[in-house]
Each structure stands twice: as C-alpha cells, then as structure tokens.
Structure 1
C-alpha cells in the first residue's frame, strides 16, 4: 500500500493520501487548511486519482480544503453526522475566541457529504476501511482501520491518539470521560503491531503507545485495580 502523509496549515495537521499502488485511485484523509496544493502535488507525483475524502472529525484544520478537492474531482466527502455541522460553521467547536477566526470567511461545503457510522466498512479505491466511532476530542470523531497488502494493520487515529499524548477535550463537543472510554474500548484492544497515523505529529504503533503513553498506561493500571483512570489531555493538540 502507498501511504503518503504530510502536514498542512497553521496547525500542521496531517493529511494522508492512501492507495493500493501508484498510478490508480486513492483516498484523501483530512485535507485541512491550505491542503489543495500539497495534495495536488502528491497526486501528480504518484499518478493518482482521488475517489473520496475521509474526515476523522470536523475541526477546520482537518477539513478546510475538503470542499475544494471534492468539487475539483467530483468525489464525496465522508464525515460522522455528529461533526457535520462544522462543515458549515467551522468556528462552532472552537469557542468564542476561535470563532473570531472565521468572521467574514466564506465557507464552502462539499457538494456530496455522506455519513460515517460506527462499524461501517467502506471499500474505496481498492482499500477497505473499517470505521470506529471514537468520541472524546469531538462528538463525531472517528478512526479508520485498514490492512495493507503485506498484512500489516493501519489506524488513522485523527486527534484521538498521538505519540505520547491524546487529543484535547476542552473545546465545545469534547468530553474527557468519553475520550477515556474510546481509548479503553477501541484503542487498547488493538494489536501492538498496528501502525498509528495520527492527526498531528509522527507515526507510532499501538505497542509503543501502550508502553509509553501515560494516558494509556493509566487505563491499563486502572483495569487491574479499582482506582479510577487519571490524567488529562494535551491542550496543545
């Protein structure tokens, strides 16, 4: 499988282009702020044609270029319905100060928006993606699982899991208890060899995070005792 990841925009959110191989169809994940030029360059370099845009959640740094790419290539965008409102109101989940960033900004919405549901399996561009609803960072956050031709497992975690950290939960729509539930039920059970492609920062693996991420360690320790999980999210992510 071809996996091309690169940061875009002021917040350096990771955008990914995935394809079975060069010279065919691909899927674009999280084309955020100022992503069009970077995505177009990767499409040209690898001779790819996008079949769909997948969105891990609705924050502007992950979705802002989705409409332009969808219109340019006549493709749909997939998002969880709980986060779809951010496509028309990107400042809604950023709080009063964040909303000011979009005063006077004309917002464009993908012409074909489709709903992601928990447990869905999407066959797109020759890749099967498994959708896991992962609320916590936002109410409609999702993670996408996929399997490479070599048998390796990939997890596009969005802003749920980062190397050594988890996504912040202090913005509107965030919920720390739901984040811990997502980590406990949907992240910890994954195999150690699963490669994590996060929404910010470098790649990691589930095994590495299980061993060194303090938020996952807290949950592991809590599962072996009656004490509650502790810890707080990284407010910078």
Structure 2
C-alpha cells in the first residue's frame, strides 16, 4: 500500500533509506490539513511525497510532524523537515530528550497516552506503547466510514511486536499492545508500521499467545 483513500483522509507512504523506513502523510480531504509521520530520511523523497498529495484536497498544507519514537533511523530528516516546514512537532514525552540527542530537534509538543491531535475534523489519538523505547507512540484515527487506522511505529509489525532488549521491556510492550490496541480496536483496523508492509489486527490477533510465549 502506497496510498489509502478513505472518506475523511488520504494516507500516502514512501519507503526511505537503507533501513526501509516508512514515512506517512495524512491529509484531511475536506480541510487540506496534513500530518507527516516519521521524517525518517531522504528529504527529497519526503518532499515528493508531500507533492504527490496535491490532489488529495483543495488546499493541502502541512500543519504538523509527528514522530513515533526516538531511534535514529526515524528522525534522520526531522531537522531538515522542521527547517522546511516550521510547524508543531509531536512525540512521546519520554522520547523527547532522545530525539534531541539524535537530531538536535526539540519537540514542541510532548505527548502522553491519550492525547489528541486535531487534523481538521479528524482526531488522531496518541497511544503510548512502552518497551521498544520509553516514549514510543502509535497514532490512531477513525474515519467516518468506520475504518480505523493505526500508525504503529516499531512497536507492532506483521508477525509480532517490535524489538525489546530485556524481559521487563518485553512485558511492558506486550501488555500495552494487547491492552491498548488489540483490546480496544476492531479486527478490520489497518496497522501501518514503521517498516515493511501493512497488516490488520484480525490477521495478527490469533498469534498473541505465541508472541507471549516467544518472549524477548
């Protein structure tokens, strides 16, 4: 999927860098307001992504840049993006210092679990998923069509959760992913991860017990 057109939003994706990071652009089709998620690398590719959305609304314009987590491969173009588009920046509170260390960008709006970003009449909810990094955030929206979409960063992929380095982090991440995503969203929810292809909660739900058993 490089493009997902829903009633309220258009979602476009480009894969960048040798790490195959996904950069997402969400456009409110009515208001034209846009949110960029993970300015990972390759500013020319990001600008092409933004340019590709010119037909998604009458007056498209970037109003914010959100970061899923502090790891270097997700913020390599963040400083360039902020310089080009001086808009508010968002990330989990517990990753703000790490992001500043990685790319010298001070996040303007730190987020806690449940905080909301407004993209016109579309609400994007921050979901704190502890474990991959201290402040990892997923971003969820519900289209008026009923379709739910979650940008999961490196916390949830097809086939499992993201990398953790000790049993406590594994337990935190599994607990949050299960409790804050699988227990709250329907099986048709589309998961758009930080790397690789999309999936749905319905495709992954049968494997939760296997993930717990697999451990960190």
TM-score bin, normalised by smaller chain: 0.7 to 0.9
Structure 1 residue ranges, 4+ long, deviating more than 3 angstroms after superposition: none
Unaligned runs of 5+ in 1: 91-106, 220-228
- Tell me what 1:205 maps to: 200
- Tell me what 1:231 maps to: 214
Question: Hey, what's the Cα distance between the residues in 2 that align with 1:69 and 1:125?
Answer: 21
Q: Is the 8 A contact 2:36 2:62 kept in 1?
A: yes
Query: What TM-score comes out, normalization by structure 2 length?
Result: 0.85
Measured on the aligned residues, the alpha-carbon RMSD in Å equals: 2.0
Question: Hey, what's the Cα distance between the residues in 1 that align with 2:46 and 2:120?
Answer: 16
Pairing 1:178–2:172 present: yes
- The DSSP-based 3-state class of the residue aligned with 1:3 is strand
Relative to structure 2, which stretch is displaced further, 4-13 or 153-162? Answer: 4-13
Pairing 1:51–2:63 present: yes
Q: Is the 8 A contact 2:13 2:49 kept in 1?
A: no
CA deviation vs aligned residue, 1:4-49 (integer Å, no higher than 9, x gap): 0121122111110001228922100011122x11121122222232
Question: Hey, what's the Cα distance between the residues in 1 that align with 2:79 and 2:89?
Answer: 8
Q: How many residues align?
A: 201
Unaligned runs of 5+ in 2: 1-8, 55-59
CA deviation vs aligned residue, 1:172-202 (integer Å, no higher than 9, x gap): xx81111121122112212101111111111
- Tell me what 1:76 maps to: 88
Higher strand share: 2
- Equivalent of 1:109, from 105, 111, 116? 105
- Tell me what 2:142 maps to: 147
CA deviation vs aligned residue, 1:135-159 (integer Å, no higher than 9, x gap): 0111101111101232210011111
Larger radius of gyration: 1
Query: What TM-score comes out, normalization by structure 1 length?
Result: 0.78
- Tell me what 1:61 maps to: 73
Question: Hey, what's the Cα distance between the residues in 2 that align with 1:121 and 1:208?
Answer: 27
- Tell me what 1:21 maps to: 29
- Tell me what 1:99 maps to: none
